[in-house]
Amino acid sequence: MKLCRVVLAAACCALLAGASSIEAQEYYDPPGVAEAIGGLSSQRATATTITFDREMLDSMLGGASAAGFNGVSFEHYQYPEPVFYIPEEMHALEQAYRAAGWSHLIESKAGPRESASPTKPIADIWFHWQGGEIDHVTVLIRARKEMNVVHVSGLLRPMDLVHISGHFGIPKVDPGAVMVPAPPGR
């Protein structure tokens, strides 16, 4: 049931964003990301992955265009016991995204203990910029007994994020805020 809500929320998020109609590249994981996600937790998980390509997104809309979206992918990991997220693997994940030129937005200021063994969900969002638009977004949500990863491929204007912020688990963004990539090391 939780997976259905995640899939529905992410699909709505993608469709409500109103992405531009410019074609973007296919989604990709920067080198080292898949390995870091695979080793992020202290125990094995039951994993489910659902991917919608551009044609599927168009079909879900009844023939209407999926705007600038090329694909949306959802990964859900369910753990049998409360999980420990390995800090070194989280650091490796952050470094892999940074090395590939992605910007990291952190929802909460969780301390080391809460980050490794969360009592409430913690969200991390990474953006890849192409000029003044975002062409790839990855959302990682770590919780006590589950983890979700949502990948969105397609061009988004930063203002599109303001319209969907505060919904679907996306942190609220102040419409008056100036959006700039995070400085190195952050």
State how far Cα 77 lies from the chain centre: 14
**Rounded-to-integer distance, Cα 71 and Cα 105, Å:** 21
Going residue by residue through the chain (186 aa), what tens digit of pLDDT does each one get? 454 344 344 444 443 343 333 333 455 688 999 999 999 999 999 999 998 888 887 777 666 555 667 888 899 999 999 999 999 999 999 999 999 999 987 756 788 899 899 999 998 989 898 887 888 989 999 999 999 999 888 887 666 666 656 654 556 666 665 555 555 555
Structure tokens at 22: 């410019």
Instruction: Give the residues across from 53 on adjacent strands.
Output: 71
Domain ranges of the chain: 2-164
